[in-house]
Amino acid sequence: MARYIGKEMSRVEGIAKVTGRAKYAAEFRVPNLAYGFIVSSSIAKGTIKSIDTREAERAPGVIRVFTHLNAPKFRNDPQDRSFRALQSDRIYFNMQPVALVVAETYEQARYASRLVKVDYNAEKHQTDTEALLASARDPSHGRGTRVRGNPEVALREAPVKVEAEYRIPIEHHNPMEPHAAIAFWEGDRLTIFDKTQGVYEVRRHLASSFGIPEEDVTVISPFVGGAFGSALRPNYYPTLTAMAARELKRPVKIVYTRTQMFAGHGYRPYTIQRVALGADRSGKLTAIIHEAVHNTSSFEEFDDNTTGFARQVYACPNLRASLKIVSTDLHTPTWMRAPGAVSGMFALESAMDELAYALKIDPLQLRLINYAETDPESGKPWSSKALRECYLLGAKKFGWEKRKFEPRSMRDGEWLIGWGMATGVWGAFQAPAAARITLRADGTAHVVSATSDIGPGTYTAMTIIAAEFLGLKPEQIKFELGDTRFPRAPLEGGSMTTASVGSAVHGAAMAIVARLLDLANRNEDSPLKGAAASDVELLDGRLQLKSDPSRYVDAFDLMKRHNLNEITETFEARPSREREDYAMLAHGAQFVEVKVHSELGIVRVTRIVEVTACGRIVNPKTAHSQEIGGVVWGIGMALQEATEVDHRYGRIVNPNLQHYHVPVNADVLEVETIFVEEDDKIVNPLGVKGMGELGMVGIPAAIANAVFHATGKRIRELPITPDKLL
């Protein structure tokens, strides 16, 4: 029986956050700091003809102005094609850095940045994915092209079919914290405070860029003010910051402006999808054809596997799901919360709703008819799958049975009421991760791993797991992360941190137990003689037999008797071999009520019930917050978020929080999140699956389906703004 896992706990880092003591990347105190400000290009493609920095250099406080003419070259790394700034006169995207002004104060650097004069040889650019469809190509990795059965023939012969195109605009993550770094050198050793979801990734990137050993780079990132994917890849400002610090022989800080973030870290790509579904008259799917195209940059290949998860949602013998990319003169896209999954499921789950109406079958019923009892892609059994329970519980909580099938059949005065639903899906990933535990004879433990906490509650979850398996109270545990001096952990992305790092913390705790047992059994009279490590547990300082707790050794006395003030164990957890025999996914069902103003086309999301099955829940308090946050991301994607590019100039025209609309509190009304726990012994020792991405996956489709139910209008292009409903 778990003491802490599954119980609500307030965040262990909560006091630091409510008092302002939590230090984010830009907030470390470093003496003699200089401030860098990035000057951005005003064209999308071409070359720099000339750049005049004289006036900027004469401005008060300016220390140096770096351009491609005087900035040192970073080492070329064929394994790492990510963009590095100031390396040539070539412009690949609008708002690309063309100069870096470093000054004594932020204001001086920002002022002088406006005095840098750049002349360009502009070339004809193309930033519009729609205009480039003829050049769409397969990503070079060749993933996901396998065809199941014969979808074209099956579609042709299907008695009922639907086919449509769906569009998703470019979207930006817009975490509240702007990206920032502070770098300083001690000889050839670099220390950098950075906003990142993976300190080891940044370390590798910097070491490779400067041609120095990885051990000579320390990356520190204890708090991250939201990221959602925008800090997964090493962005171009850490190399710039470290370069300036090395050249000037003093610490340098660079903080993106909100506007610079729009060309500073990637975005959800512009995505066009075509879905064709065929079914027999009973509703059984006979064909799924799901094709996607999205943009990448001209200098780098990126794809978010748009149609990947959608292959595994429904039992259907004939399926083709593909993704092609086109090169645009924009910065490279990147992963953004629920990458690929939310885009692909918007199209597939909208199409399923269209099919339900073509068949005149209740949309929930249609999902149940096509429920995948085993993985349709691999044929393997699921490690666990409680999606049916999610559907049924969600429908009950929502009152789905009272829904009238016909569109425009429910009304509240001037407001048309619509009810929609959709399925959510995400992975149950685990990556190799390591953690180190030091148990002290005073009854406390120090636990470290170089993972990240971008907000989900990693500090708290790891503290809970360590407390559980060391048999200590959470307040006796100190967990630290975000530092390359700690054991290696994967990027905090893909909702795999608790599975990966949690398994490492669990493993390190087990190693501590084994070590203590070995110490105990060196004594001939040990009450634990003959016990294996798996037979014993630590609880409140006792190393005891699980089957008979009266047989125990006081762990801290034991350590003292052996003159040990502390014992340390490091453990690397890897995904088990057993996982390969199963298909593993996390699922959810979303039920949404919208009210659409009949005259004005305004959409209000008045009620959402989201039921999620993602294994075991470590901390319900933070887990519910994650799911609510995901739901609200889904609302933003469905109704508000769009990065607008003026293709004449190849430039983003709304790069700020005034014109890029993220949900505000008035957009969020009733949201209920429910977990259906799954007892999954396959995925990892803790039985946890991904949840952070999952929360948003079905929401945009569920909202679009509800809007159809309210209005009779099928909106296939996000966001669903009033103009599309008038």
Partner 1 sequence: MRCELITIKVNGEERTLAVAPNRTLLNLLREDLNLTGTKQGCDDGDCGACTVLVDGRPVLACIKLAAQCDGCEVTTIEGLAREGRLDRVQEAFWHEGGMQCGFCTPGMIMSSYALLQRNPHPTEAEIRQAISNNLCRCTGYTKIVAAVKRAATFAEFTQR
Three-state DSSP at 143 gives coil
Can you state the angle between helices 199-210 and 236-248, rounded to 10 degrees?
Answer: 50
Q: Smallest distance, Å, CB 568 to partner 1? A: 30
**What b-and-e string marks burial along 603-632, b requiring 16 or more CB atoms within 10 Å of the CB?**
bebbbbbbbbbbbbbbbeebbbbbbbbbbb
Q: What's the Cα-to-Cα distance from 85 to each of 106, 114, 500, 649, rounded to whole Å?
A: 20, 18, 33, 21
Q: Out of 201, 389, 693, 717, which one is annotated catalytic?
A: 693
Sole window of 93-101, 169-177, 570-578, 583-591 interacting with partner 1 (rule: CB under 8 A): 169-177
Distance, CA of 258 to CA of 331 (rounded, Å): 16
Q: Does 174 bind partner 1 (CB under 8 A)?
A: yes
Q: Would you say 7 or 23 has its CB closer to partner 1?
A: 23
> Which backbone phi and psi does 537 adopt, to 5 degrees?
-145, 160
Distance, CA of 402 to CA of 43 (rounded, Å): 55
Q: Would you say 177 or 680 has its CB closer to partner 1?
A: 177
Reading the block at residue 570, the tokens are: 């490091």
Q: Which of 6, 7, 27, 374 binds partner 1 (CB under 8 A)?
A: 27
**Size of the chain in residues:** 726
Q: Smallest distance, Å, CB 99 to partner 1? A: 20
Q: Would you say 29 or 249 has its CB closer to partner 1?
A: 29
Q: Which of 2, 54, 60, 88 binds partner 1 (CB under 8 A)?
A: 60
Q: Which of 70, 76, 107, 475 binds partner 1 (CB under 8 A)?
A: 107
Positions in 652-681 near partner 1 (CB under 8 A) = 656-658, 662-666, 668, 671
Sole window of 26-34, 372-380, 591-599, 678-686 interacting with partner 1 (rule: CB under 8 A): 26-34
Positions in 305-334 near partner 1 (CB under 8 A) = none
The full DSSP string for 570-618 is: EEEE---GGGGGSB-EEEEEEEEEEEEETTT--EEEEEEEEEEE-B--S
Q: Smallest distance, Å, CB 621 to partner 1? A: 5
Q: Would you say 36 or 151 has its CB closer to partner 1?
A: 36
- Is there a catalytic annotation at residue 693? yes
Sole window of 24-32, 463-471, 520-528, 681-689 interacting with partner 1 (rule: CB under 8 A): 24-32
Q: Which of 3, 80, 106, 248 binds partner 1 (CB under 8 A)?
A: 106
Sole window of 49-57, 101-109, 307-315, 387-395 interacting with partner 1 (rule: CB under 8 A): 101-109
Q: Does 24 bind partner 1 (CB under 8 A)?
A: yes
Q: Smallest distance, Å, CB 26 to partner 1? A: 7
* Number of Cβ atoms within 10 Å of the Cβ of 563: 7
Distance, CA of 64 to CA of 62 (rounded, Å): 6
Q: Would you say 39 or 321 has its CB closer to partner 1?
A: 39
Positions in 223-242 near partner 1 (CB under 8 A) = 223-228
User: 694, 407 in Cβ contact below 8 A?
Assistant: no
Count residues contacting partner 1 (CB under 8 A)? 60
Residues 176-215, mask of contacts with partner 1 (x by CB under 8 A): xxx-------------------------------------
Q: Would you say 224 or 447 has its CB closer to partner 1?
A: 224
Q: Smallest distance, Å, CB 629 to partner 1? A: 5
Q: Does 18 bind partner 1 (CB under 8 A)?
A: yes
Q: Which of 34, 56, 65, 255 binds partner 1 (CB under 8 A)?
A: 255
User: 47, 104 in Cβ contact below 8 A?
Assistant: no
Q: Does 625 bind partner 1 (CB under 8 A)?
A: yes
Q: Would you say 251 or 456 has its CB closer to partner 1?
A: 456
Can you state the angle between helices 497-520 and 458-470, rounded to 10 degrees?
Answer: 20
Q: Smallest distance, Å, CB 472 to partner 1? A: 22
Q: Would you say 177 or 537 has its CB closer to partner 1?
A: 177
Place of tokens 């109270």: 473
Q: Where does 185-334 have alpha helices with state H?
A: 199-210, 236-248, 258-261
Q: Does 114 bind partner 1 (CB under 8 A)?
A: no
> Which backbone phi and psi does 478 adopt, to 5 degrees?
-120, 120
Distance, CA of 274 to CA of 166 (rounded, Å): 6
Q: Smallest distance, Å, CB 610 to partner 1? A: 11
Strands of 46-52's sheet, edge to edge? Answer: 90-91, 46-52, 117-122
Q: Smallest distance, Å, CB 290 to partner 1? A: 29
Q: Does 626 bind partner 1 (CB under 8 A)?
A: yes
Sole window of 311-319, 391-399, 628-636, 708-716 interacting with partner 1 (rule: CB under 8 A): 628-636
Distance, CA of 503 to CA of 606 (rounded, Å): 39
Distance, CA of 226 to CA of 178 (rounded, Å): 9
Q: Smallest distance, Å, CB 359 to partner 1? A: 34
Q: Which of 29, 124, 402, 577 binds partner 1 (CB under 8 A)?
A: 29
User: 265, 235 in Cβ contact below 8 A?
Assistant: yes
Q: Does 15 bind partner 1 (CB under 8 A)?
A: yes
The sign of the torsion formed by the CA atoms of 219, 223, 227, 229 equals positive
Sole window of 219-227, 269-277, 364-372, 484-492 interacting with partner 1 (rule: CB under 8 A): 219-227
User: 333, 304 in Cβ contact below 8 A?
Assistant: yes
| Amino acid (one-letter) located at 204 | R
Q: Does 368 bind partner 1 (CB under 8 A)?
A: no
| HSE toward the beta carbon, residue 313, CA cutoff 13 A | 30
Q: Would you say 537 or 593 has its CB closer to partner 1?
A: 593
277, 279, 283, 288: CA torsion to nearest 10? -40
* Number of Cβ atoms within 10 Å of the Cβ of 139: 16
Sole window of 149-157, 253-261, 473-481, 523-531 interacting with partner 1 (rule: CB under 8 A): 253-261
Contact set with partner 1 (CB under 8 A): 10-11, 13-24, 26-27, 29, 60, 105-107, 111, 174-178, 223-228, 255, 257-258, 454-457, 621-622, 624-626, 628-632, 656-658, 662-666, 668, 671
Which residues form the catalytic set? 693
